[in-house]
Amino acid sequence: MSIIQQHTASSLSDAWRTINIDALDPDSSQNFDTSTLHPPLPEASEADVRALNGQVRQLLRGGDSEGALRGCLENPIYNGSEVAKDAHLQTVIEVLQSIKASEMTPMLQRIYDSNGGSELVDVLMKYLYKGMAGGSASSGGLRTPTRNLTPQATGFSQIGNRPGSTNESTGAGMSVLLSWHEKVVDVAGLGSIQRCMTDWRKV
């Protein structure tokens, strides 16, 4: 007797190939909360973020842009609501926009060379990527619809909101982020991009 005779219609179909066997295994990583692998992060409320942003703006008004940049990079919002995270991103971008192009590299170098500075530059890299991913880098907390626009099949998602004036400010914000990105890679190397990708602490 060959075992082939025991085949039924259901075993001959390909449906069993799509069974997710990980879901049936109690030990599998799918049935496991991966966040328990890391020590918990302190939670930041929206009020904390507002207070911090107030301090950063004050430093910025006082002309201490390096202090302002350090201030927001030393307190990244890892564990908080999306609103709090976005608010902090806006502050970081505001600070970045206020710094002149000629000051970028010396300032980054000073931060990188200071104690624990490479960590701060890695945080900056995370905010740069978050800013670029969001697509809306315009200041003043104005949310452009670009953010939730799904890209068209053609890939020309920008065309949809061409008539709006927001597009230009988005482009300007993006060019600031891109030039910062270039400077950060010059100072902290490709390693900072690596850490930005591997890190489980998302901003």
Partner 1 sequence: MASPEVHHLFHRPIADHSFSADRQTLAVAKDTSVELYGKAGNAFKLKDELKGHDKTVTGVDIAPQSGRIVTCSQDRNALVWEPSPTGYKPTLVLLRIARAATFVRWSPSETKFAVGSGDRVIAICYFEEENDWWVSKHLKKPIRSTITTVNWHPNSVLLAAGSTDAHARVFSSFIKGVDARPEPSVWGERLPFNTVCGEYLNNSAGWVHSVAFSPSGNALAFAAHDSSITVVYPSGPEQPPQAVVSVSTQLLPFMSMVWNGEDEIIAAGYDCEAFRFQGNASGWQLTGTLEAKGRPGLSGDAREESALNMFKQMDLKGKVKDDTQLKTVHQNTITTLRVYEGRNGSVSKFSTSGVDGRVVVWST
Nearer to partner 1, 60 or 111 (CB): 111
The radius of gyration of the chain from alpha carbons, rounded to an integer in Å, stands at 23
Q: Between residue 74 and residue 103, which ones bind partner 1 under the rule CB under 8 A?
A: none
Q: Is 194 in the site for partner 1 (CB under 8 A)?
A: yes
d(CA 64, CA 88): 18
Q: Is 19 in the site for partner 1 (CB under 8 A)?
A: no
Q: Is 16 in the site for partner 1 (CB under 8 A)?
A: no
Q: Is 195 in the site for partner 1 (CB under 8 A)?
A: yes
- What is the sign of the dihedral through the CA atoms of 9, 12, 18 and 23? positive
Among 75, 198, 202, 203, binds partner 1 (CB under 8 A): 198
Burial 39-51 (b: 16+ CB within 10 A, else e): eeeeebeeebbee
| Residues near partner 1, by CB under 8 A | 27, 29, 32, 34, 37-39, 118-119, 122, 188-192, 194-195, 198-201
